[in-house]
């Protein structure tokens, strides 16, 4: 993309309404624009990152054997009356009527609708296990929408639902989600820690939240500092050998992450914390909740008659769980975890463009030609550069690149070209090296091998 033809409405001023750094940077970098309280338009740069996260989520869900569907945003209230949640959900649910006076609602989650799909089409235990998921906009009429996409009213969520014959199978689905979520966050450059949590209006008593540690997080968390050192790469034979079908493997990996003390304030037990965890390893911190998994057994299947014919021919209600990832919130979490005073620093796995090209002397024949050549070479390799081809001062171009956070920048100027070199700069470390344009392309291609 050439910046002169792109739509990147960066702000010079720091927006006064933004209280935390991720919100400020998303506004300043022209990623989002508020449309109403807690509701945002996604501008090109923000939309690109959202799509990247969505792709990672789809890939990891597919890898775990889960099947994508798409359910509607507007739902009929009838199904929610069946489960009993229409009245329970309270003011967080946005309700409306259609022209015939029928009660409708904007989906805050979709346990009822997916259960209705299931009961309409699945009748035998032989069709189990089954996990359906979607990535869809949700609406919750939060009392205090704040921090930009972090606590929105409209937000983008991956919600998945497992249907299993037995509790044991459903707990396998729970563990499988736990592992696939860890892998998902890892690809986004994030460490998210599974912590025992409270289930709220979704129900059930087996639930974990995934938290990214950050001072600006809304949740207070208590944990053994050892959990911070746990990583999927250290489990068994590493990431590539994960066997999502194996109950034993998934159980062992889930235990590896959940046997160490890590809880949100709702489930925190000071007695256990203080008698188990040695004092020097006790941590109280704040975190951003980027996902949550639930096992709630037959709560919805019994209420809504979602049964299958079991092996003995008798009908049995299916065991279910639901599993959410806050896709739009994740963008805020990534920025909270990865920025400096100049702007965002995207992890390579989610960056909106793979690198920037800065032309120090737009209009100089040689510089223009060198930039065009770099641009084509990168594009031919399947990479997406953002080429700042505007007639602007170098300082302004650098500031924009730093603000929008592309992990790599190639700087091209007449002086370097005389010696046959361009400059390659790493956004995170600020380190630069001079190398030939060809070598710069090769290096960027190597960096993104297996990621892009």
Does residue 324 belong to the site contacting ligand 5CA (CB under 6 A)? yes
Site size for ligand 5CA (CB under 6 A): 19
Does residue 289 belong to the site contacting ligand 5CA (CB under 6 A)? yes
Which residue of 193, 290, 345, 367 would you call a contact of ligand 5CA, by CB under 6 A? 290
* Distance of closest approach, residue 292 Cβ to ligand 5CA, in angstroms: 3
* Distance of closest approach, residue 425 Cβ to ligand 5CA, in angstroms: 33
What's the longest Cα–Cα distance across the chain? 82
> Contacts with ligand 5CA in 119-148 (CB under 6 A)?
140, 142
**Minimum CB distance to ligand 5CA smaller for 134 or for 400:** 134
Question: Minimal CA–CA distance to 113: which of 79, 86, 149?
Answer: 79
Q: What distance in Å separates the CA atoms of residue 331 and residue 325, rounded to the nearest whole number?
A: 12
The three-state secondary structure class of 36 is strand
Does residue 116 belong to the site contacting ligand 5CA (CB under 6 A)? no
Question: Minimal CA–CA distance to 319: which of 103, 110, 204, 167?
Answer: 167
**Minimum CB distance to ligand 5CA smaller for 140 or for 176:** 140
Which residue of 134, 322, 338, 425 would you call a contact of ligand 5CA, by CB under 6 A? 322
DSSP string, 139-154: E---SS-BTGGGB-SE
Q: What distance in Å separates the CA atoms of residue 271 and residue 328, rounded to the nearest whole number?
A: 36
Q: What distance in Å separates the CA atoms of residue 358 and residue 29, rounded to the nearest whole number?
A: 17
**Minimum CB distance to ligand 5CA smaller for 175 or for 292:** 292
Report the helix count and the strand count for the chain, using DSSP H and E: 14, 23
> Contacts with ligand 5CA in 326-345 (CB under 6 A)?
326, 328-329
Q: Is there a contact between 339 and 26 (Cβ–Cβ < 8 Å)?
A: no
**Minimum CB distance to ligand 5CA smaller for 184 or for 292:** 292
Question: Minimal CA–CA distance to 161: which of 307, 61, 85, 244?
Answer: 61
Q: Is there a contact between 30 and 95 (Cβ–Cβ < 8 Å)?
A: no
Question: Minimal CA–CA distance to 152: which of 18, 292, 328?
Answer: 328
Among the listed ranges 11-19, 212-220, 226-234, 317-325, the one in contact with ligand 5CA (CB under 6 A) is: 317-325
Does residue 159 belong to the site contacting ligand 5CA (CB under 6 A)? yes
* Distance of closest approach, residue 303 Cβ to ligand 5CA, in angstroms: 15
**Minimum CB distance to ligand 5CA smaller for 198 or for 226:** 198
Does residue 75 belong to the site contacting ligand 5CA (CB under 6 A)? no
The token pair that represents 313 in the structure block? 């021919």
Among the listed ranges 4-12, 23-31, 39-47, 323-331, the one in contact with ligand 5CA (CB under 6 A) is: 323-331
> Contacts with ligand 5CA in 351-410 (CB under 6 A)?
none
The residue at minimum Cβ distance from ligand 5CA is 326
Q: Which residues contact 376 (CB under 8 A, 6 or more apart)?
A: none
* Distance of closest approach, residue 450 Cβ to ligand 5CA, in angstroms: 27
> Contacts with ligand 5CA in 238-277 (CB under 6 A)?
none
- Please, is 174 exposed, middle or buried when counting C-beta atoms within 10 Å of its C-beta (0-12, 13-18, 19+)? buried
> Contacts with ligand 5CA in 84-113 (CB under 6 A)?
109
Does residue 155 belong to the site contacting ligand 5CA (CB under 6 A)? yes
**Minimum CB distance to ligand 5CA smaller for 292 or for 307:** 292
Torsion of CA 97, 100, 103, 107, to 10 degrees: -70
Q: What distance in Å separates the CA atoms of residue 24 and residue 403, rounded to the nearest whole number?
A: 11
Q: Is there a contact between 184 and 210 (Cβ–Cβ < 8 Å)?
A: no
* Interacting residue ranges for ligand 5CA, rule: CB under 6 A: 109, 140, 142, 151-152, 155, 157, 159, 202, 289-292, 322-324, 326, 328-329
């Amino acid at each position: 993309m050439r910046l002169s033809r792109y739509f990147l409405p960066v702000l010079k001023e720091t927006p006064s309404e933004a209280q935390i750094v991720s919100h400020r940077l998303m506004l300043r970098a022209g990623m989002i624009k508020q449309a109403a309280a807690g509701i945002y338009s996604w501008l090109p740069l923000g939309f690109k990152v959202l799509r990247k996260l969505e792709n990672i989520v789809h890939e990891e869900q597919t890898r775990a054997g889960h099947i994508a569907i798409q359910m509607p945003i507007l739902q009929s209230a009838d199904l929610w009356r069946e489960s009993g949640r229409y009245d329970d959900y309270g003011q967080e649910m946005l309700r409306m009527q259609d022209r015939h006076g029928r009660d409708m609602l904007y989906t805050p989650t979709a346990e009822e609708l997916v259960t209705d799909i299931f009961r309409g089409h699945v009748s035998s235990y032989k069709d189990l296990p089954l996990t359906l998921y979607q990535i869809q906009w949700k609406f919750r009429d939060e009392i205090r929408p704040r921090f930009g996409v972090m606590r929105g009213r409209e937000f983008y969520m991956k919600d998945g639902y497992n249907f299993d014959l037995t509790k044991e199978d459903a707990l396998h689905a729970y563990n499988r989600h736990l592992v696939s979520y860890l892998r998902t966050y890892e690809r986004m450059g994030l460490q998210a820690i599974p912590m025992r949590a409270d289930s709220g209006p979704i129900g059930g008593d087996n639930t974990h939240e995934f938290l990214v540690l950050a001072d600006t997080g809304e949740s207070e968390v208590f944990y053994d500092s050892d959990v911070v050192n746990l990583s999927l790469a250290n489990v068994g034979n590493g990431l590539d050998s994960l066997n999502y079908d194996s109950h034993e493997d998934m159980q062992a990996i889930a235990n590896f992450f959940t046997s160490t003390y890590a809880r949100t304030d709702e489930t925190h037990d000071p007695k256990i914390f203080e008698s188990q965890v040695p004092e020097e390893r006790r941590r109280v911190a704040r975190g951003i909740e980027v996902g949550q998994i639930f096992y709630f057994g037959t709560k919805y299947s019994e209420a809504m008659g979602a049964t299958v014919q079991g092996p003995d021919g008798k009908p049995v209600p299916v065991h279910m769980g639901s599993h959410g990832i806050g896709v739009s919130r994740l963008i805020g979490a990534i920025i909270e975890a990865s920025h400096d005073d100049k702007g965002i620093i995207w992890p390579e796995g989610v960056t909106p463009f793979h690198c920037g090209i800065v032309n120090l002397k737009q209009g100089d024949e040689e510089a223009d030609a060198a930039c065009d050549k770099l641009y084509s070479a990168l594009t031919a390799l399947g990479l997406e550069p953002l080429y700042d081809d505007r007639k602007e001062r170098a300082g302004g171009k650098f500031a924009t690149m730093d603000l929008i956070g592309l992990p790599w920048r190639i700087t091209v100027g007449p002086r370097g070209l005389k010696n046959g070199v361009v400059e390659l700069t790493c956004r995170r470390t600020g380190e630069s090296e001079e190398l030939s344009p060809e070598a710069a392309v090769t290096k960027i291609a190597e960096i993104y091998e297996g990621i892009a």
